[in-house]
Amino acid sequence: MHPRFHTAFAELPASLQTALEPLMRHDDFPSMLTAQQVDAVKDACGLDNDALAFALLPLAAACSITPISHFQVGAIARGVSGNLYFGANIEFSGAPLQQTIHAEQCAVSHAWLRGEKSLASITVNYTPCGHCRQFMNELNSGTGLAIRLPGRAPATLGDYLPDAFGPKDLNITTLLMDTINHGFTLAETDALSAQALDALNQSHAPYSNAQSGVALETHDGKIYTGRYAENAAFNPSLPPLQAALVLLTMSGADCQQINRAVLIERNGANLSQFDATRATLAALGCQNLTHHRV
């Protein structure tokens, strides 16, 4: 089992420990449960969907990286597939606070990057901030997305974000987590660039049309990709590097073990991820960044 889970796992009810141990015993546990695994755990422990999500929150929070706040937030996203995806807040020493990833953003992008098509609910151990409420308003699940908090009555995103401003106000019809392929190509590409290009082609950038994708290669040769997730309110947008760092972190890898990175952006776009990507990677100890435009 990955060391980050040891303390939280030891505090779970015995029946839940027994059900989860075969799934979590290896260091490369992907911080998610498939629908089949979810059903098996629920049957073994007598839990429903909401109760299981609440029970898993300490494990999600254990994935946090908080060198600045020392405050751990965990989130569990339940996909319409029945899969459960962990999320946690991730901070970076030496980088601006704006580069921080919130737990809800982490859980949402984690689900999206693993191929989930829509979300049914988000369970969080603390009330979502306004930034995260606006970020979730970009989702194709809309304001009907169920939000679950400990000790609170069931509610929806619409309850937490009344009179919301979002993509529909701007006549945007392709929403975050909708399937899309922008169809960009790159003449000459290696394996890492090919994966960054694939990420760009699935990115969500309906306001700026500044599609972008990132691929990270760690010292052990593994590759993690991230897609830009733009927001109607602009500031809650999640850069592609942050999305890639979500997948890397949730997979149990180390953000400070990145060997090289590729950023690909649409040529002629009126904004660029390059400077922020380079600066954040530098804060993580990676200076090897290749930049392509398509």
What lies within 8 Å, CB to CB, of 233 at 6+ separation is 134, 165
What lies within 8 Å, CB to CB, of 171 at 6+ separation is none
- CA 36-40-45 angle, to 5 degrees, is 150
Asked if 104 is an active-site residue, the reply is yes
Is 63 exposed, middle or buried, given 0-12, 13-18 or 19+ CB atoms closer than 10 A? buried
Sheet of 212-218: strands edge to edge? Answer: 223-227, 212-218, 258-265, 289-293
Find how far residue 113's CA is from the centre of its chain: 7
Separation between Cα atoms, residue 38 and residue 32, nearest integer Å: 10
DSSP label at 122? Answer: E
184: three-class secondary structure by DSSP: coil
- Token digits for 19? 């059900």
- Token digits for 64? 């946090």
Among candidate residues 11, 21, 91, 104, the one labeled active-site is 104
Distances (CA, A) of 194 to 191, 201, 211, 263, 294: 5, 11, 15, 11, 12
Residues marked as catalytic: 104
